[in-house]
Amino acid sequence: MGKKVLLIEDEPNIIEAVSFILSRDGWDVKTHSNGHDAMEAVRLREPDLIILDVMLPGKSGFDILAEIRVDADFAATPVLMLTARGQTKDREMAERAGASQYMTKPFSNADVLAAVRDLVGA
């Protein structure tokens, strides 16, 4: 069985595209579409990698990332931030918050796959 990825994203087109790319490559992809209870999804799924949107309904990706980083069980889990916000200040905020990698939308399928493989050492 492939490694587990949790995609926390609210845009259906992005969910479909990323799920397809990773599933085809052998990843076990689970999705969650709001920020409000995202940490519950992380605890339930116990992913090897989290792909996290910045702008989510209920809670921002930055807030969720902060919760992940203070949770002893998931503090070391790689997190790929995926966002339409590509300004330098957004990237710096993500780095300070503990993002493992930061990717802006639109993205190429190959870039997402390469980032995921790199982050889990696959």
pLDDT per residue as tens, the chain (122 positions): 469 999 999 999 999 999 999 999 999 999 999 999 999 999 999 999 999 999 999 999 999 999 999 999 999 999 999 988 778 888 888 889 899 999 998 899 999 999 999 999 86
Fold of 4-120: Rossmann fold (3.40.50)
pLDDT of residue 122: 63
pLDDT of residue 55: 92
- pTM check: above 0.75: yes
pLDDT of residue 4: 97
pLDDT of residue 121: 84
CB count within 10 Å of CB 68 equals 22
pLDDT of residue 93: 87
Rounded to the nearest angstrom, the gap between the alpha carbon of residue 12 and the centroid of all alpha carbons in its chain is: 15
pLDDT of residue 2: 65
Diameter over CA atoms, the chain? 38
pLDDT of residue 99: 96
**How big is the chain, counted in residues?**
122
